Chain A
Amino acid sequence: DVKVTQSSRYLVKRTGEKVFLECVQDMDHENMFWYRQDPGLGLRLIYFSYDVKMKEKGDIPEGYSVSREKKERFSLILESASTNQTSMYLCASSLFGTAYTQPQHFGDGTRLSIL
């Protein structure tokens, strides 16, 4: 089974702090993604990466950055946390598909509260 592990289930930080969310997958997947999920808004893509050191902005990249130094690890960084970044953060990975897109597999999620 695919295992996607996020470093924290719950996290509380203060406004202005730099926050790191880590994600590791063990299935040698090329693609990795960071989403946030808020009630009524569904999942929104923040960033994704299709290879080491490669990254692409998603729909809501403002206030975030990412790092992918190794294939199995994809980090999300909140440069200066703000209260509107309080949310559930989900990491996902998927295998590169040649004919059809492969499904994503999600980590357990990190519930981040910014005070």
Chain B
Amino acid sequence: RKEVEQDPGPFNVPEGATVAFNCTYSNSASQSFFWYRQDCRKEPKLLMSVYSSGNEDGRFTAQLNRASQYISLLIRDSKLSDSATYLCVVNNAGTYKYIFGTGTRLKVLA
């Protein structure tokens, strides 16, 4: 089983729709969680950190469910510019290692 798992998609949604992705992790000692956005042939860019039970930044909401060991990303009112791959990243307590999911691809359609 992979340490961090994401549905690769693609998720094809119309503009204005709400879409949610999940990311599951296998190590219960995982302590820090992040969502990154990566455009085609570009570097990953930090979207948001998920340190507690959840946080919100504009149209984006991230949630952490420690009991079920997953984090989620909700995007409301999708824009064409939200089309990208979304990477889930997990860090285990006491290590320098960041574990990346392989990403979920989102396509927002006009």
CB within 8 Å of B: which residues of A? 31, 33, 40-43, 45, 48, 50, 56, 58, 88, 90, 97, 100-101, 103-109, 111
Contacts and interface: CB of A to CB of B under 8 A. Distances in A.
Interface stretch (B19-27, B42-50, B74-82): B42-50
Given A50-B96, A100-B31, A101-B31, A42 B102 contact: yes
A48 B96 contact: yes
6 contacts: A41-B102, A48-B96, A103-B34, A103-B46, A104-B46, A109-B43
A90 B43 contact: yes
Given A40-B102, A100-B32, A103-B49, A109 B96 contact: no
Interface of B: 31-32, 34, 41-46, 49, 51, 87, 89, 91, 96-98, 100-103
A42 to B, nearest CB: 4
A45 B51 contact: no
B91 A101 contact: yes
A25 to B, nearest CB: 13
B46 A31 contact: no
Given A42-B103, A100-B31, A106 B96 contact: no
